[in-house]
Each structure stands twice: as C-alpha cells, then as structure tokens.
Amino acid sequence: MLILRLAAILALISGPCASAQQSAAPTARLEPAHDIRYVSTDLGHVLVFTRAGARFGDFLALSPGIWPTNPVEIVPAGEGVQCITIGPPENSNSVQIAIKRPLRVGDRYSCLRESFRVIRCFEDCRAAMVETQSPGSGNNPRHDPLKSYMYVDSCRGLLAYSVVRDMTDAIPLSAMWLRGDVGILADPRSPPCDSLTEERD
C-alpha cells in the first residue's frame, strides 16, 4: 500500500506532461547552498534538494549518480506565500510545497494546483502541521484528491513531510524528516527568526 502510494507520487513527479490547469508563472530555479536532506525513520524514503534539483525515492536517492533528479523552481504564490514546485510548474503532475507566513491555525492558501490548510499550531504557531491537497492524477481526474502532510517551522521551513498518514499523534515511520539545521523554505530574514543564526553558532 505504502509502496503503491509512493510510486503514485513518484509517477506524479516524473510522469509525462499533461495539460496545465493554470498558466505558468515566472519562476526561478531553487539552488540551495548545501544539500537539504529528508529521510524517513524507516529509511525507506528520501527527499534531497541539491543545486541540480530534487531527488525523491528510496534510500538510493541519497546518491546523485544513482537516482534521477527533478528540477525545482520557486513559484510566486501570493502575499506571504513561499512556494516551490518539484517538476516543471507547467506540468500538471508536478508537486508543490508551500508555507504562508505568519503561520495561523485554519489559514488556507494555494500554489499552482495544490491547496494548503494549517491544521494545528504549536507554541503560538512557531511550528505547525499543514495539510496539503492536490487534485487526482491528470490522467484520471476522477481520482480522489491526494493528501499529504507537512510539519513546518516558521523560521526553519519544512521539517517533515508525510505522503501516507497525517501527523496527529506522531511523525509516521515513513514520513521524511529533516536531517540538518535548516529545511527547504526556511526564512531567516524575518525579524522573529533572528535567533536562527545565533542558535547555530
């Protein structure tokens, strides 16, 4: 079941381009200074962002020579929303990850084809759980929407990502969590995040 779901996600990312549902906005390539790695507790799932793009797959995806890389682009997405797309933005099968700051419980926002809802906050929304909903496969629009879950930090960005289960009680064994200081979509420039750099010293 898990493998099938992940295979579906991977197919969504790397599948053939279907008709875009939204006109493509001007984008910029995401080129992190260092690799940003997410690995699941069960070591079955890996998401790595590099200067060359993102690799999303099993443990082998940690190695650049073994696993295909998908382009990652920054997408303009409304006031306060930081969004990236894995896979070409004009591709209806691409995946978006977005954070809207400041974090607020119940807030809803969108980026390209995906919609986001802040479902739970911690410590005055210093961190939050966000539910992501994307339309079904472009090849079969009757499919139920795909739900994913993110755990985000207002300063350090995406800290965990689950495509299988929500995070109501725990970060599932198959959810990928950050192996590093600072995640994708971090924003150390915001005044409340001044301590981000101090804490790393």
Residue 167 makes contact with other proteins by CB under 8 A? yes
- Using the contact rule CB under 8 A, the part of the chain among 14-22, 38-46, 79-87, 185-193 near other proteins is 38-46
The residue among 47 and 111 lying less far from other proteins, judged by its C-beta, is: 47
**What is the smallest separation between the CB atom of 98 and other proteins, expressed in angstroms?**
20
Residue 194 makes contact with other proteins by CB under 8 A? no
One of 112, 150, 171, 186 touching other proteins (CB under 8 A): 171
Residue 186 makes contact with other proteins by CB under 8 A? no
Distance CA 114, CA 55 (A): 20
**What is the smallest separation between the CB atom of 52 and other proteins, expressed in angstroms?**
17
Residue 122 makes contact with other proteins by CB under 8 A? yes
Neighbours of 68 (CB within 10 A): 14
One of 1, 26, 123, 191 touching other proteins (CB under 8 A): 123
Q: What is the DSSP annotation of 106-146?
A: T-EEEETTEEEEEEEEETTTTEEEEEEEE---TT-TTSPPE
Residue 127 makes contact with other proteins by CB under 8 A? yes
Residue 66 makes contact with other proteins by CB under 8 A? no
Distance CA 73, CA 30 (A): 5
Distance CA 61, CA 52 (A): 13
Distance CA 95, CA 194 (A): 30
